[in-house]
Structure 1
Amino acid sequence: MQRLLLLASLLLASCDYPLVTKPLPPVAPVSKTGELVVLTHNGPTTYYENPNGEPTGFEYDLVTLFAKQAGYTVKFVVENDLDSLYKKLAQHQAHFAAAGLSQTDTLKERMRFGPPYLKVDQEVIYNTDTLKPRNFADLVGWRVAVVAGSSQAETMLDVRQRVPGLHWTEVKAQWGEALLNQLANQDVDAVLVNSNEFDIAKNLYTNLDVAFALPKADQLAWAFPKNVDPDLYAKVQAFFKRIQADGTLKNLVDRYYGHADRLETADIAGILDKMQSTLPKYRKYFQEAEAVTGIDWRLIAAIGYQESHWNPLATSPTGVRGLMMMTGDTADRMGVSDRLDPRQSIVAGAKYLSLLQDAMPDKVEEPDRTWMALAAYNQGQGHLEDARILAQRRKLNARSWGDLKKTLPLLAQSAHNSTVRHGYCRGGEAVVFVENIRTYYDILVKYERPYKPLLLSTN
């Protein structure tokens, strides 16, 4: 009898397992709540936390702009892999997904896509310590990896029909950098990712390069449930039509991808080396400069690397000197007694940049405000204002760094510099200067920790 009671109790206990978790109820229509719920994933091409601890990213900016214009608030739901994102979208647990999704034939059967906003290539990336594959046939026998649920996984299925010996691993990852890390460490032999992902990551991996790209480009777009709210979908269509027409989308693309192709592999290898050999000598001065100005020390360090490769004795033929390469006039203005003193140079350079940021018109928002201040750091505030005037004449956005990149180089041409107050300057150099610093800053943010000063004891 005791055995029967024990068996019965075990059977009853087993009834509690496995637990069946019910899906959350569908989100209410945004027209009723005013809150837009958006699925995304964490990564530099979508949604991430910037050095100030604030959310940012291409998809974050795009969604936030749409919500602002539509009068909605936004709640982002971050998923760890694409499969769970697709499942929640199908269950209507969000109004749409903004996650750098390609419009593939398979996905179109499961969901509905909005207007395309970015064209990307699928690229096979290899480790340059190995032989470069020329095509998919060369990948037979290789350890190939793709993100599970991605358009690349679909591509591999399609290619295997033509290359039967092709094998690969599908990794549950948020985006392609996890695969690129494995490739850099030679844990896999090749990966397939979107070109925008590699554009962002390639400056962090000097031993990776593109082997070949697929001939047909993909279109990225927001994804909606099949039976999407028609009013919301119509608003999204109108939004993309508007931002494509007025240049907003172009400027947003430039904000995240416009600096990706500026540096050569040797430039990247150089800063990675000097981060180990040279930066430790001056890190405390860069961090002191942040404490004084509030500017991220890694951005100040990126300026210093662009200017002198962190050489405090650097001197140009024109007499610009020191780690931050200051002119005599600027040094005097900032109270520098010795331009070759690295501490004085770094702190003064940061203060000067802060002054230039403060001088920007109030309507210029970040990060454009900082990129424009850097251009002024390189060529002077007057020439930057001339470039803004040229932008206005050409009906471009004088508050957008993406548009000023077009007009600054014109200041080297007499047909243009003769029509503005401050005349000739090497405006193209300012563009290269800023774009290089943006890339160096990305690298430093990747590998160097933010500055957190120790709190003084109150005892």
Structure 2
Amino acid sequence: MKETILVLLLWTFLLGACSQAVEEKKGNTPVRLIEVAFDLPDIRERGKLIAIMQYNPTSYFLYRGQPMGFEYELLQKLTKQLQLELEIRISNDFSEAFRMLSEGEGDIIAHGLTVTKHRKEKFAFTEHYTTTRQVLVQRKPDQWRQMHPVKVEKALIRNQIELIGKEVYVHENSAYYSRLLNLSEEIGGDILIKTLRGELETSELVRKVANREIPYTVADQNIAEINRTFYTNLDTKTPVSFPQRQAWAVRKSSPQLLDTLNSLIVGLRGKLEFNVTYNKYFKNRRAFSQRIQSEYFSKSGSKVSPYDPLLKQYAHQLGWDWRLLASMVYQESRFDPKANSWAGASGLMQLMPETAAHYGVTDLTNPEESIKAGVNYLNDLETLWQEVPDSVERVKFVLASYNVGPGHIQDARRLAEKHENDPNTWTNEVDQWVRQKSKKKYYLDESVKFGYCRGEEPFRYVKEIFNRYEQYQNLIAKE
């Protein structure tokens, strides 16, 4: 009797495991997920929204020193309305992204995820912000430019039944994989689905088709068509799905976050601003081609600006990560050596002529001279703020002083100390008091020696440099 029970238990376990394996194959998210409970009130208390994103030529990338991307710009708008900071964590692996979301390593997957029944069993999806369909990405025949259009058409797959026996490469656990499984069933023959794991994203598979590394892949139509503007030997006209909704994913244990995101997305969707942003990344073919051919496009190169060698050299002298110095230079001049401000500052580092003269520089349009003088000034400010023990906080005091002068920042420290805040911490302490220096009550305070200050400027200056630096750390190698 005991043997019979053991056999039955063993069969039950094996059948369950088989069933789970089939479900794993059908779906596109991991099966065993540990979901944490962390909703909007917890996110607000933390002060930032953590978004899981794909690093690709349309969602999130760096171009000429500026973080860009369709989903990235949407997130910027949404977090601004939510009054939250934004932290980005990158994963181009669908399984890994869903695991990260489930286990609380991120609050949202901000990517154009296809909404499927299987995915909805495990995760909650926002209101869709666009629709697309999946298309076959295939190469045109050799010498297609010299061929009659009718012959080109005959050489291409237009009937999905012709995919029987063909090798199609897609990412494991993607909606493309699920769709090809269903399509094989519908056409009554096996499509040879070749699955790929890891960080290889859709645009890279499209490139592999164009470069003859793989025969076929499947992509969302909007991604396929914008890539086709650069890879002109590709065809993307053959659909393999009906129209599908695209949305972002959150945990089912985050209903307040979901409701808030839905309200914001509905408010954006279809508006002129939304359409302009969408067209910028998926319709402007010329701009797309220029970006992906540029040495300053982070997906194809590691350069932020033409002045990277100088920034690395002088950042080393300063003891800073060169990407932090690069973010500061972008903030000052957007890497334009001829930039001039209304106040008379000029050059890459936007120095005033008298400051430049103090450091022996007369030609601020010379990139190296400007960087050298700016770094010398930053070094002096580092020395001034040595009493700040934390090195990261010290850098923030240095940057704020570079922007508005050390006197105003000393005033803000005195105000912070007077009101029992930490005078050696910039973030959420002294930065709040420099903002108060635009108010008469505070700039006339007896502890203030340098009077009125438009404190919002240094507050934003430091914040924006560090936010950009975080994106540079995500996308550009340190060395």
Bigger relative contact order (CA 8 A; separation at least 6): 2
TM-score normalised by length of structure 1: 0.50
Q: Please, what TM-score do these two structures have when normalized by structure 2?
A: 0.48
Structure label with greater radius of gyration: 2
